[in-house]
Amino acid sequence: MAFISDTHHARDALLSLVTEGATSLPLLASEALPSLLAAAQILSYRVGRREIGSGKQVVRQDFDICMAPPKPNLLWDLATELEEHLAQALDGLRPPLLSGRFGFNDLVVQRYHPDSFGITMHRDHVRYTGLVALIQLSGDGQFFVSNTRSGSGEREICSRPGDLLLMRAPGFAGRKDRPFHYLSNIVTERYNIGLRHDTKPG
């Protein structure tokens, strides 16, 4: 599958994560989306837990989720191609942004229904390291990142169907932090592919 952004664009995006925490860039042409969306739509979903955590750290979420879609399928094929694309972009950077072999071993698909409130401010678990990638297949919404749970330094990472959103995770550029983020203002049905490296799979 041909990607819109070449290795140089991907490298620039990865370098920006050192200070920015998250960024987005075009990835898939519009004609590539229907088959990927169809592959996502036929999966089996469960309703995501409505609340995780408690007190000031509670996270509210409003989506359906498919954990680890069966292999082989188009979504895993896409993950493999993106992994290689990003590995090429990372190759040769000195100092290296990631130590060891880069790879995704965790794939989930999220389905947000029309008028879903999305997911409130949170950070991904520390078990997910290096890079987090989100590929938007359809729909809309607004994705924000911030430096703190209270929202200091908040900024929107704009994306649309076909775009790739990247976030820094522990171990990227020798850093331990990862950005707080949330998704809101969803009007039309949204499908996301989420790709991560899980240090404790299974």
| Burial group, residue 27, by CB count within 10 angstroms (0-12, 13-18, 19+) | buried
According to the model, what pLDDT value does residue 102 have?
Answer: 82
Main-chain phi, psi angles of 172, to 5 degrees: -80, 125
**Rounded Cα distance, 121 and 134, in Å:** 16
According to the model, what pLDDT value does residue 68 have?
Answer: 85
Inside any domain, residue 129? yes
According to the model, what pLDDT value does residue 149 have?
Answer: 87
Inside any domain, residue 2? no
Please say whether the beta carbons of 15 and 7 come within 8 A.
no
Inside any domain, residue 92? yes
Query: Per-residue confidence of the chain (202 residues) as pLDDT tens digits?
Result: 789 999 999 999 999 999 999 999 999 999 999 999 999 999 999 999 899 888 878 999 999 999 989 988 999 999 999 999 999 999 988 899 998 788 999 999 999 999 999 999 999 999 999 999 999 999 999 999 998 888 788 899 999 999 999 999 999 999 998 999 999 999 999 999 999 999 987 6
Inside any domain, residue 106? yes
Query: For position 185, which CATH number holds?
Result: 2.60.120.620
Containing structural domain, residue 194: 7-198
Inside any domain, residue 117? yes
Inside any domain, residue 156? yes
Count of domains for the chain: 1
Residue type, 101: R
Please say whether the beta carbons of 124 and 179 come within 8 A.
no
Inside any domain, residue 1? no
DSSP 174: G
Helix residue ranges, H only, the chain: 7-20, 33-41, 74-90
pTM above 0.85, yes or no: yes
Please say whether the beta carbons of 102 and 131 come within 8 A.
yes
Inside any domain, residue 126? yes
According to the model, what pLDDT value does residue 202 have?
Answer: 67
